[in-house]
Amino acid sequence: MAIKVENLTFIYNQGTALEQKALDDVSFEIPDGQFVGLIGHTGSGKSTLIQHLNGLVKPTGGKILYNGEDICGEGYNLRQLRSKVGLVFQYPEHQLFEVDVISDVCYGPRNLGLSEEEVHARAEDALRLVGMKEKYWDQSPFELSGGQKRRVAIAGVLAMNPEVLILDEPTAGLDPRGRDEILDQIEMLHKERGMTTILVSHSMEDMARYADRLLVMNHGKKAFDGTPKEVFRHYKELEQMGLAAPQVTYVVHALRERGLEIDEDITTVEEARDALLAVLRRPGKDQHA
């Protein structure tokens, strides 16, 4: 059990006229190594929630436990927590500031007080992990393309060797290929390093493809919690929350309404293709093919 959130409540500007409840009695547990998708419309509390997970914001009520320890408890080492729970903000490339790529990635681990050798080793590792070739390492980060900048920013967080990686819309503004490259890399990191991953995204198609589990936030509360297939069964309720299921899920439901027998839990193009091809084939006729 890596992260445990118990009855978490957070109120902005408590006691003033601007008081606003951003999180309302949220509880869940994320075991080590899970890939969790976090969805919800703008203002649903997702960003407030992830800021709690590495101690940037203190709960108004409830508890957050990391490996069994209360992160708001007295004497808890928040600095250490932040190196273990890496948070990649939205548009992280806006936070690049160093003269060259490698120095930017070195900044975090150097602040941990590691030896210069270790700092460099980690930075180089992290840059390779995100697929940044060596020829870019001495370039100014500001001369890179949007997708490359973003990878450098993610490398900066990976160089801290986090156990948990939280990414807030890491693909916003990227073109389709840039998006797939970043997500494939995140998936690879998740698999190879067994890193617990929490991904915030508006793309239900991406969620269906990558996440083991989906947490859906709505008005500060946890609305759904389950595998993507379980959650997308509630596509009608999701729509009322300003969300949606993947396009193919709608197609499958529409075909079912027309009388075709198709598994309702289809969420990806590949699954839909296989299921629909089976429908088109006459039983017995195509089996030898």
Write out the residues near another protein by the rule CB under 8 A: 41-43, 145-147, 172-178, 202, 205, 242-244, 246-248, 250-251, 254-261, 269, 272-273, 276-277, 279-282
Q: How far is the CB of 98 from another protein (least distance, A)?
A: 21
Task: Extract the tokens encoding 113.
Answer: 């007080």
Task: Extract the tokens encoding 268.
Answer: 């990806």
Task: Extract the tokens encoding 270.
Answer: 């590949």
SS3 15: coil
Which residue matches tokens 């590495």? 54
Q: How far is the CB of 172 from another protein (least distance, A)?
A: 6
Q: Any alpha helices (H) in the chain, and if so which ranges?
A: 46-53, 78-84, 101-111, 116-129, 146-158, 176-193, 204-210, 228-232, 235-240, 247-257, 269-280
For residues 62 and 147, which CB has a smaller minimum distance to another protein in the complex?
Answer: 147
For residues 230 and 264, which CB has a smaller minimum distance to another protein in the complex?
Answer: 264
Q: How far is the CB of 234 from another protein (least distance, A)?
A: 16
For residues 81 and 182, which CB has a smaller minimum distance to another protein in the complex?
Answer: 182
Cα 205 from Cα 218, distance rounded (Å): 19
For residues 191 and 273, which CB has a smaller minimum distance to another protein in the complex?
Answer: 273
Q: How far is the CB of 273 from another protein (least distance, A)?
A: 5
Q: How far is the CB of 15 from another protein (least distance, A)?
A: 21
CA atoms within 13 A on the CB side of 105: 32
For residues 40 and 55, which CB has a smaller minimum distance to another protein in the complex?
Answer: 40
